[in-house]
Structure 1
Amino acid sequence: MVLGTMSVIFWLLAYIGIIWRGFKDRSFGMPVTALSTNFSWEFIYSFIYQPFKDYLHILSIPWFFFDIPIAIQCLLYGPKDFKSEIIRKNFSIIFLLSIAIAFTIQLRFFYEFNDWYASYTGFGINMMMSILFIAMLLRRNSIDGQSLYIALFKWLGTLFALFSTAFDAYAELNIPISFYKLLIETITHENYPFTPLVKILYYFTFMFDLIYIVLLYNKIKEVKINPWARF
């Protein structure tokens, strides 16, 4: 429970950072597709698919409510972020439609794949988000809406989510816990919710997060700002 709670806290800190930088820079700090998918996932996991089943379902509720101001920022500042006149004029419709599509697909995925722990959906979305953060930084060629702390908190949130999933899988074996055995279980476990696919998704997420951190750090330095002084 502690590991899962730490994951929630670090992600909330990332959300707070995104909201803060978004209003300060008059921009949005989460890629549109990532936000649409994340917003839908948190609503489904918190209120629709086995709501209040365990502490992770309950702790996901704050994520959803912190996503609301991020979505508002996206609607406010999103149109100016794109060069295409079609996207600029129809941005609100495109954004709302992307949420509807993401919601529909994820809801069916939860039920058809019985993803009660949200391992496939959660880590899959996470990897997609990590790639999209890199793409957003490169597309904009700007640090608007972004900070090194947001990137680090996202990375730590995902890291503790991995540990939490591994610990829960290990706890089901009813074996006395130790760090060594937990590490071995993290590497060798093959059953849901900690399947080889879930671990592969995490390893790629970890890699993309580190790439994003390095790229963002260098970009902030490039514009003559101390990365650690930009909150």
Structure 2
Amino acid sequence: MEEPWINLQVYSPFELVLFGVGCSMWVVVYFLYARHIARHMMIGMPVFAAASNFGWEFVWGFLPPYTDMGLLFLWGYRIWFFFDLYIFYGVWRYGAEQLSIPALKRYFKPLIIFVAVCWGLLYWFFKAQGYDTPIGANSAYVAQILISILYLLLILRHRKFVWSSAPIAWLRSLGTGFISIFMFLHYPENYLLLMLCTLSAVIDGVYLYVFHRRTSVGHAIETGG
């Protein structure tokens, strides 16, 4: 049986729109990241979160069983991965600047590849042994919590990375927000997932507050930023 482009048997049109809007925002975020790497030769995304993302997108974009939302969303996952190829290259090349431990900096390139492979294996076993939903939601929000926490830690620890893009900060948070609303509608009894969605929203809200406080004109003058 040929796979449909959109699965309207399991998911309502409203749910699909919510999920699609959120995913599209993340595509724009990835494009902005790739452009930022090309222009500035630096990576503002937390490097270990990027490694986790890379592993998840490979597992859910290319290893069966695929998402049951339809081919449109499967190719959405794959578009994420193709953007992430370049982003991960940027992480591999420039990401050592985020580390403060000299020994880790020295071995950063093999370390980040090892971390990405480990995350990929973790997400694969999560999927293969039946711990995930048909769209990879449980593991995706494990990755999302990691992203949210590491973004907040990065902005608190490294002042030079504060001056990242406001569109990235908002699109990332809003994109995840739309997807989280979908999760509450479609998986109302998956309390683990809903807890992860809630924690992610709270941490992202704190991040946006810190981001805008750090990038305000008054604070920039005060700190010499």
**TM-score normalised to the size of structure 2?**
0.82
Q: Which runs of 4+ in 1 moved over 6 A?
A: none
Say whether residues 1:5 and 2:11 are aligned partners: no
Q: Supply the distance in 2 between the matched residues of 1:14 and 1:59 (Cα, whole angstroms).
A: 13
What is the Cα deviation at residue 25 of structure 1? 3.2
Partner of 2:193: 198
Give the structure 1 partner of residue 103 of structure 2. 86
Residue identity opposite 1:163 in structure 2:
I
Distance 1:145 1:107 in 2: 35
Structure 1 vs Structure 2 CA RMSD: 1.9
Q: Deviations over 1:58-88 (max 9, x none)?
A: 3211111111111111122122333322222
Partners of 1:47 and 1:203 lie apart in 2 by 29
Asked if residue 34 in structure 1 is aligned to residue 34 in structure 2, the reply is: no
Which one of 161, 165, 173 corresponds to residue 147 of structure 1?
Answer: 165
Deviation at 1:131, TM superposition (A): 0.5
Q: Report the residue type matching 2:42 in the other structure.
A: S
Pair 1:57-2:89 in alignment: no
Q: Which residue of 1 aligns with 2:10?
A: none
Segments of structure 2 that go 5 or more residues without pairing to the other structure are: 1-15
Show the 5 A alignment for 1:1-231. 1-51=16-66, 53-55=68-70, 56-115=73-132, 116-143=134-161, 146-169=164-187, 189-190=188-189, 195-221=190-216, 222-223=219-220
Give the distance between the partners of 2:37 and 2:214, measured in 1 at CA: 18
Distance 2:206 2:124 in 1: 31
* Cα deviation digits, residues 125-148 of structure 1 (max 9, x gap): 111110100111112122367222
Q: 8 Å contact 1:51–1:58 — kept in the other structure?
A: no
Separation in 1 of the partners of 2:170 and 2:122? 29
**Structure 1 runs not aligned, ≥5 long:** 170-188, 225-231
TM-score by length of 1: 0.80
